């Protein structure tokens, strides 16, 4: 089953449509690569997908165990390299809300879930994934 359809709009911009839901994402090349930087770049989406996937997998584990991580935020910093141009590092910082009632065992389970999410295991092994959990 197809996942998405992508249209090149010119001026280094694309429109991607999620075929199941109809949700649309527009991209733009970054300023440092001849774009306007007015939307997510494709590499921004890769880095963002990593954080989103980690948080989703943590949410699945939390729900299965009756734990609440609602309100957790993730900040993403993408570091680009050259020759070849690529993402060399993604810094992922989790900020959990105040007193969530989780003990060390629960936190460890959630951290391991994040670090083994499908996106984390799908990107190239040379991509440095620097992950911080602020409980």
Give the tens place of pLDDT for each residue, 115-127: 999 999 999 999 9
Share of the chain above pLDDT 90, in %: 98
Question: pLDDT class for 102, splitting at 50, 70, 90?
Answer: very high
Mean pLDDT of the 95-114 span: 95
Q: 36 φ, ψ to 5°? A: -95, -15
Global pTM value = 0.95
Predicted confidence (pLDDT) per residue in 5-30, tens digit: 999 999 999 999 999 999 999 999 99
pLDDT score recorded for residue 99 = 84
By DSSP bridging, strand 128-134 and strand 86-95 are: parallel
The answer to whether 128 touches 88, Cβ cutoff 8 Å, is: yes
pLDDT score recorded for residue 103 = 96
Question: pLDDT class for 98, splitting at 50, 70, 90?
Answer: confident
Correct CATH for 42-134 of 3.30.70.920, 3.30.300.20, 3.20.20.100, 3.40.50.1950: 3.30.300.20
Handedness of CA 70, 133, 125, 37 (dihedral sign): positive
Mean pLDDT of the 101-111 span: 97
Q: 57 φ, ψ to 5°? A: -65, -40
Q: How far apart are CA 48 and CA 77, in angstroms?
A: 9
The answer to whether 80 touches 33, Cβ cutoff 8 Å, is: no
For the chain, give every residue range classified as CATH 3.30.300.20: 42-134
Predicted confidence (pLDDT) per residue in 46-94, tens digit: 999 999 999 999 999 999 999 999 999 999 999 999 999 999 999 999 9
- For residue 54, the SS3 value is helix
Which residues, at least 6 apart from 82, have a Cβ–Cβ distance to it below 8 Å?
Answer: none
């Amino acid at each position: 089953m197809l996942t998405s359809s992508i249209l090149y709009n010119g001026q280094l911009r694309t429109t991607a449509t999620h075929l199941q839901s109809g949700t649309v994402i527009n991209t733009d090349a970054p300023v440092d690569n001849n774009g306007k930087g007015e939307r997510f770049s494709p590499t921004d989406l890769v880095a963002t997908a990593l954080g989103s996937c980690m948080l989703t997998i943590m949410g699945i584990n939390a729900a299965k165990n009756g734990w609440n991580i609602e309100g957790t935020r993730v900040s993403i910093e993408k570091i680009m390299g050259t020759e070849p141009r690529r993402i060399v590092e993604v810094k992922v910082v989790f900020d959990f809300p105040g007193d969530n009632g989780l003990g060390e065992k629960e936190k460890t389970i959630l951290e391991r879930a994040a670090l083994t999410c499908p996106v984390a295991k799908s990107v190239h092994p040379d991509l440095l994934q620097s992950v911080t959990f602020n409980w």
